Amino acid sequence: MSETPSAVLWDMDGTLVDTEPYWMTAETELVESFGGTWTHQDALQLVGNGLADSAAILRQAGVQMDGDAIIQHLTDRVRDMLSTHGVPFRPGAQELLRDLRDAGIPTALVTMSLRRMAEGVTELIDFDAFRLIVAGDDVENPKPHPEPYLLGAALLGVEIDATIVIEDSPTGVRAGLASGAVTLGVPHILPLDDIGAHDLWPTLHGRTAHDIIALYRAHRTSQTENPS
């Protein structure tokens, strides 16, 4: 097996961009429009979830809309906030993406947001950052199921165990681990202690392709020396 990862698979919300506050605002507005209450703790339940799962929880909170209508409404509202307030990229994310490109390591974006949302975000990156996007409307089973990451690897034509997944949420880390990828956690809103990520970095700021390669080599060396 190569000592360099065949690809790096990125989560979007909370990992590439700090859109979680926008989602939380949109959820709160929607629940309150139906006379309900939506607390910060309620919103934390949805971090990293597939949109269909989130819509079901919002319906339980009193939103009298069908699931698809909720998904479309939230997506439109968050896109509106992105256009008004801008896309807050996470520290170091664009720099690491550029360095991975320069090192010849393919990348894919694997998000549970709708494709139109993901494409809107990637269009604001001033270089060709991702080979492809796997979005929430491309899969039957959302994270924490491994399907999104398995699909990303398959579309890139690489073996999943030769990739690195970068995630910020417990749901996403579980998806990466279940897929068989080397899984890096970069916690943001929720802690990732004891979830089982192969490594945790407090931030991507200052990280380079060299660090990604070193992480991959360290994990693969450990696996070879200590097979399960």
Chain centroid to CA 203: how far? 15
Residue 1: beta bridge partners?
none
Sheet containing 132-134, strands listed edge to edge, beginning at the edge strand earlier in sequence: 132-134, 107-110, 7-10, 163-167, 182-185, 199-200
At 66-115, the pLDDT tens digits run 999 999 999 999 999 988 888 899 999 999 999 999 999 999 999 999 99
Tokens at 126, concatenated? 């001033």
Please tell me the predicted confidence (pLDDT) of residue 141. Answer: 96
pTM of the model: 0.88
Distance CA 140, CA 191 (A): 27
Distance CA 14, CA 212 (A): 19
Characterize 86-108 residue by residue with b for buried, 16 or more Cβ atoms within 10 angstroms of its Cβ, and e for exposed.
ebebbbbbbebbbbbbeeebbbb
At residue 3, does pLDDT exceed 80? yes
Instruction: Note whether 185 and 192 are within 8 A (CB).
Output: yes
User: What domains sit in the chain, N to C, each tagged with a CATH number?
Assistant: 7-18+89-225 (3.40.50.1000), 20-85 (1.10.150.240)
